[in-house]
Structure 1
Amino acid sequence: MCLVKAADVSAATARIAPFVRRTPLLPLPGERLLLKPENRQPTRSFKVRGAVNALGRLAEEGVRHVVAQSSGNHAQAIAYAAATYGLRATVVLPDTAPELKVTAARRLGAEVVIAPPALREVTCLALADRLGATVVGSDDFDVIAGHGSAGAEICRDLPEAGTILVPVCNGGLLAGVAVAAKETDPAITVIGVEPELAADGAASFRSGTRTAWPVEQTYRTRADGLRAPTLGALAWEHIRRYVDDMVTVSEDSIGAAAGVLWGKLGEHAEPSGAVATAAYLTHHTELPAGPVVAVISGGNAAARQE
């Protein structure tokens, strides 16, 4: 299985630069934590990095129609990237997806198909076959390479970073960030973060075998963007090679972290986007010495009422 390398991340970074935002690092007052606010991206999540890179490559190859399945943020990113390159996009979303994410995907130009959570994958594959479209998975090679641009930015902006905390759904973001970080400085500690109620990735990491959890279990978490029942196969191979640890956080700590991000930085994070911050607040005494970076992976949730 071919893994993403630093050169692939560099090429992706250059390809997506005109279409995504280079997010800064924001210090959390009184802490050794800095936040990477991917909620500031055009589609309010990091997913746009991988989608723009993957669809850019596909457009160069002559592909005209793409299909993807998603909890919501990947769908919006695919819709945005398809519009950027003049492609047709069809996305499959679960019937539990927040209306905000469904509406956003449609507004960006995608055709939206709703399916039960457990049938997202088979529905996506059936549509691709019927429509003659190309499936874009959220841990495809070019998607991981695009996500790696976030890790490359962290390393350029903070060469002394000691630890990077990354939210985990199917593992594409963690895989990309880990490649970029470890190939820049092998001493950086890269840690994946999951909700306790959707910890299939942590279970996989501990056992050394890619493990699936039933949808009924992973859908208990409020972090709707992190409910994938298993890590992607390609993401898993990167995680096995490059990632140092996986930790979990409680539902209460996720809510508390979102409150801290809003109250101290004015950053609006959806629950999925707050898990890395929750990991710092919960586990900071156990983390290696040095500055810690936590990725705010998204902000697609109803606005906070203050």
Structure 2
Amino acid sequence: MLTLDDVRAARERIGDAAVHTPIDYSHTFSRFTGAEVYPKYEQFQRTGAFKIRGATNRIATLPESAREAGVVTASAGNHAQGVALAATRAGVDATIVMPENAPISKVKATEGYGGTVVLHGADYDAAQAHAHDIEREEDRFYVHAFDDEDVMAGQGTIGLEILEDCPEVDTVVVPIGGGGLISGIATAVKGLDDDVRVVGVQAEGASSVADSLVKGEVVSLDAVDTIADGIAVGRAGDRTFPVIRERVDEVVTVSDPEIAMAITYLLERSKVLAEGAGAAALAAVIEGTFDYDEGEVIVPLVCGGNIDSNTLTTVLMRGLIERGRYLRLKTVLTDEPGALRRLATVIAEERANIYAIQHDRTARDVGMSSAEVELDLETRGHDHVEHLIDVLESKGYPVEVLL
């Protein structure tokens, strides 16, 4: 099984390929939770995520024959970029198979780091199958995203940095997809201080490791569904699962709305952009998904920041809705001059701001002398939303909340 010495050796191999990312005390999240929260900001890593660590260590340990033949992998994002950059730095040819619907920004980034991108299949499974075809046909070495001890050891260098920069840490919180990241970190942390607790976090819609721990064996999910695409993995690794079972103290899950909230908080309060997987650990801390004491020193890992722009728009909107900062409602007006102005006046008097209005005099489910109106509003919290609805209804406006 993976050892602390393996992680230390990986650190020597990685050298300056990966930067030592910061840990910073957060007054905001500490105030929210009552704990002492020190996020580890791995989204400042090269390629915007931790994957460069494991990819660099894996390629550094390849035999010369494999280096000459080149490597191949499958990925929809961060692993693709990590392998592309690590291979380019080592002078190794890399082919990256990505699903045909992969975000163009991630495709371009992978190509920019020197990888040859092949688009194939509708999803990751199809891309992975094609990558293995290329592995056999071209005799390339397949670099697994997580189920590889050299990859796990590379990711574990984050654990070394956490214990160096925050030696007083009580709990380290780590996102889990296939388990390579937490396997490496738990090995490093427990090897240095067995009293430090390691908590893993999965999305509710991709809880393969949590389910496997309950059943005592690796299980595969029929489907995954989460905004945290970086941890949307349907099966834990055969190599990672035994490490998790032995060295991780607890695995919990968080919902997509909770992840969206954490992304929004990071952006608004810390000025940090995180992807869904990157915000999952902090979401578990904010929501109190696992038990911790007041004043406990907690290091949640923000493991990446490569979020697609379209996804970011959706996530931020969901975060605003969850916090009562955005409201979409429908009401009915008398179809007469000045009716819309009077409604807008009520909204302004209650200090809500109108983003957009859709006024429909032909809606089928209202009377001939009425008009249906949908409004997108900026609000100031759940109490403000409830008060605004009460005021509108008291003035004779029927209200249907749409978002």
Q: Structure 2-normalised TM-score?
A: 0.72
Q: Count the aligned residue pairs.
A: 301
Alpha-carbon distance, 1:91 to partner: 1.2
2: CA distance, partners of 1:62 / 1:113? 20
**Aligned counterparts, 1:1-306, within 5 A:** 3-30=1-28, 31=30, 32-58=36-62, 63-64=67-68, 65-114=70-119, 115-117=121-123, 118-139=125-146, 140-214=148-222, 217-218=223-224, 220-283=225-288, 286-287=291-292, 290-302=296-308
Aligned 8 A contact 1:59 1:85 in 2: no
Distance in 1 between residues matched to 2:257 and 2:47, nearest whole Å: 26
Q: State whether residues 168 and 193 of structure 1, in contact with CA within 8 Å, keep that contact through their aligned partners in structure 2.
A: yes
Larger radius of gyration: 2
Q: Which letter does structure 1 place at the counterpart of 2:5?
A: A
The percentage of aligned residue pairs carrying the same residue is 34
How far is 1:209 from its partner? 1.0
What is the Cα deviation at residue 17 of structure 1? Answer: 2.2
Q: Which runs of 5+ in 1 are unaligned?
A: none
**Secondary structure of 2:38's aligned partner:** strand
- Output one character per residue of 1:164-221: Cα deviation in whole Å (capped at 9) or x when no partner: 111111110010000000111111111111111111111112221111102xx31x21
Could you tell me whether the CA contact under 8 Å between 2:254 and 2:289 is conserved in 1? no
CA-based RMSD of the aligned residues comes to 1.7
Unaligned runs of 5+ in 2: 31-35, 317-403
Moved more, 135-144 or 57-66: 57-66
Amino acid at match of 2:159: G
Measure the CA separation in 2 of the matches of 1:297 and 1:55.
Answer: 21
What is the CA distance between 1:98 and its match in structure 2?
A: 2.3
1:286 counterpart SS class: coil
State the Cα distance separating 1:285 from its structure 2 match.
Answer: 6.8
Query: Is the CA contact (8 Å cut-off) linking 2:22 and 2:42 kept in structure 1?
Result: no
Residue 276 of structure 1: how far off its partner (Å):
0.6
CA offsets, 1:94-133, max 9 Å, x none? Answer: 2343222122111111111222323233222111001110
CA distance in 2, matches of 1:195, 1:284: 12
The TM-score with structure 1 as length reference comes to: 0.94
Native 8 Å contact 2:203 2:228 kept in 1: yes
Deviation at 1:287, TM superposition (A): 2.4
Task: Give distance in 2, aligned partners of 1:85 and 1:141.
Answer: 19
Stretch moving more, 23-32 or 142-151:
23-32
Q: Deviations over 1:259-278 (max 9, x none)?
A: 11111211110111110111
Checking the alignment, whether the CA contact within 8 Å between 1:201 and 1:210 is kept in structure 2 is: yes
**Structure 1 residue 59, shift from structure 2 partner:** 6.2
d(CA) in 2 for partners of 1:4, 1:234:
9
